[in-house]
Amino acid sequence: MTTREAKINLMGLSLPKMQAFFLELGEKPFRASQTLKWIHQRGVTDIDAMTDISKPLREKMKSVAEIRLPQITQEFRSADGSCKWIVQVESGSSVEMVFIPEAGRGTLCISSQAGCSLDCSFCATGKQGFNSNLTVAEIIGQLWWANQKLAGFGVKPAQEWSEDGKPAQNPRPVSNVVMMGMGEPLLNFENVMDALSLMMEDQAYGLSKRRVTISTSGVVPAIDRLKDFTDASLAVSLHAPNDELRNELVPINKKYPIKELLRSVSGYMEGLSDRRVPVIEYTLIAGVNDHRQHARELAVLLKDFPCKINLIPFNPFSLSDYRRPSSSSVSNFRQILHEAGYTVTVRTTRADDIGAACGQLVGEVGDNTRRSQRYRDAAEAQKGNEQEFAVEQRSETAAEVTGKRFSRADNLAIEIDRPRRPSV
């Protein structure tokens, strides 16, 4: 007899894998669409509730399969309508997901890994080290849960939204997904690809490719093979206009420098059937990458690279000495790019009353790399030194300012300029 652990989790099966599952049971592939609809559209997790499937077949399904979701352990609701959930995954770690409602759309920021191995210098997830890749069920389960929870709160689907000029009714509260939660999605490639296919599958969530965005720090070999698996939208975490600075901020740049990254991203975009451009994400850190000269250099770097630019003022957290730039320096930076002809957006802070402002997703990661301990030790040692030499230093860390953790939630383009041709 099959044990509980060995049972196949139907929650994590993409359409082709669900079809293969039914073929293996000696059944017709159309059962796959039926089952996907029950799980993802009607929110059913009990095979017995699938009433258009005969009882004997349901019994057969139950003997080898089940529907298993990650657990939601905490829930936070902001006065502005944003929500944050802590999700416990099978490895024992917890990750976070955040929902941000806006006029005409509701965006869910989803995690792909518990922790991250890449250790970008400004990112709290990276400081926690790496624990595990999320399974397909744990990734798509975040979308499943968010839709259920939001419907339970009475959050209505976005009234009407226009897709390629055609108005349509979005059936569920979440209309957009960004893979901008914890982890590097392209380092959990197969699972993320299957989860994306469910997000965009008509029998499941039916989200348009324009409304599902992968954010990557630049895993070039994975971007190179992306087009064979998906046509989702792409956001690239650039954060610096030259390799020297980017090597410091985004260490994977030492392996895949900017030129290779942009070449690889162009290759993906050119393979898409429609004219979409990638979003260049640029976290602005005071005194590090936010000088006017950096903006000018960025404008030159990207002049032959069609894109939109999203500026994200750095959100501080307790293990980082970096600071958020002033709003005038953000607006100067933006202005330089705008004058050079770029479409520039600036993320604004949302949901800070629930610790879900644009910044950091942390969860609780059972670090396999010991990195989190090293950072904590270094922070302790630093604190000791400071006390010893009586250095009076005001560090604007999240813990000092607000006494709470930050979450990276604000993944939305807020301030949109009219597109113009770059003129640098």
Residue 10 or 123 having the CB closest to ligand SF4: 123
Residue 113 or 197 having the CB closest to ligand SAH: 113
Asked if 126 touches ligand SF4 (CB under 6 A), the answer is: yes
Q: Which does 180 bind (CB under 5 to 8 A by kind): ligand SAH, ligand SF4, none?
A: ligand SAH
- Rounded Cα distance between 198 and 20, Å, is 15
Alpha helices in 233-326 (DSSP H): 243-249, 258-270, 292-301
Q: Which does 205 bind (CB under 5 to 8 A by kind): ligand SAH, ligand SF4, none?
A: none
- Rounded Cα distance between 206 and 223, Å, is 23
Beta carbons within 8 Å of 377's beta carbon, 6+ residues apart: none
Q: Which does 219 bind (CB under 5 to 8 A by kind): ligand SAH, ligand SF4, none?
A: none
Contact at 8 Å (CB) between 101 and 155? yes
Tokens linked to 154:
């009475």
Q: Which does 233 bind (CB under 5 to 8 A by kind): ligand SF4, ligand SAH, none?
A: none
Residue of 201, 231, 281, 352 that binds ligand SAH (CB under 6 A): 281
Tell me, yes or no, if 358 is annotated catalytic.
Answer: yes
Segment 85 to 114, residues that bind ligand SAH, using CB under 6 A = none
Task: From the candidates 83, 96, 123, 138, give the one annotated as an active-site residue.
Answer: 96
Residue 91 or 320 having the CB closest to ligand SAH: 320
Residue 216 or 345 having the CB closest to ligand SAH: 216
Residue 38 or 322 having the CB closest to ligand SAH: 322
Asked if 314 touches ligand SAH (CB under 6 A), the answer is: yes
Asked if 283 touches ligand SAH (CB under 6 A), the answer is: yes
Asked if 215 touches ligand SAH (CB under 6 A), the answer is: yes
Q: Which does 295 bind (CB under 5 to 8 A by kind): ligand SF4, ligand SAH, none?
A: none
| Three-state DSSP state, 353 | helix
Beta carbons within 8 Å of 33's beta carbon, 6+ residues apart: 15, 203
Tokens linked to 415:
């301030």
**Would you give the DSSP letter of residue 145?**
H
Asked if 186 touches ligand SF4 (CB under 6 A), the answer is: no
Residue of 125, 128, 132, 320 that binds ligand SF4 (CB under 6 A): 125
Contact at 8 Å (CB) between 360 and 407? yes
Beta carbons within 8 Å of 414's beta carbon, 6+ residues apart: 345, 346, 347, 348
- Rounded Cα distance between 129 and 319, Å, is 13
Asked if 22 touches ligand SAH (CB under 6 A), the answer is: no
Q: Which does 371 bind (CB under 5 to 8 A by kind): ligand SF4, ligand SAH, none?
A: none
Which of 338, 144, 141, 113 shows the shortest CA–CA distance to 215?
A: 113
Asked if 183 touches ligand SF4 (CB under 6 A), the answer is: yes
What single-letter amino acid sits at 174?
V
Residue 170 or 283 having the CB closest to ligand SF4: 283
DSSP codes of every residue in 98-115: EEEEETTEEEEE---EEE
Contact at 8 Å (CB) between 345 and 336? no
Size of the site for ligand SF4 (CB under 6 A): 11
| Three-state DSSP state, 178 | strand
Asked if 78 touches ligand SAH (CB under 6 A), the answer is: no
Interface contacts to ligand SF4, rule CB under 6 A: 116, 118-120, 123, 125-126, 183-184, 217, 237
Which residues have a catalytic role annotated? 96, 358
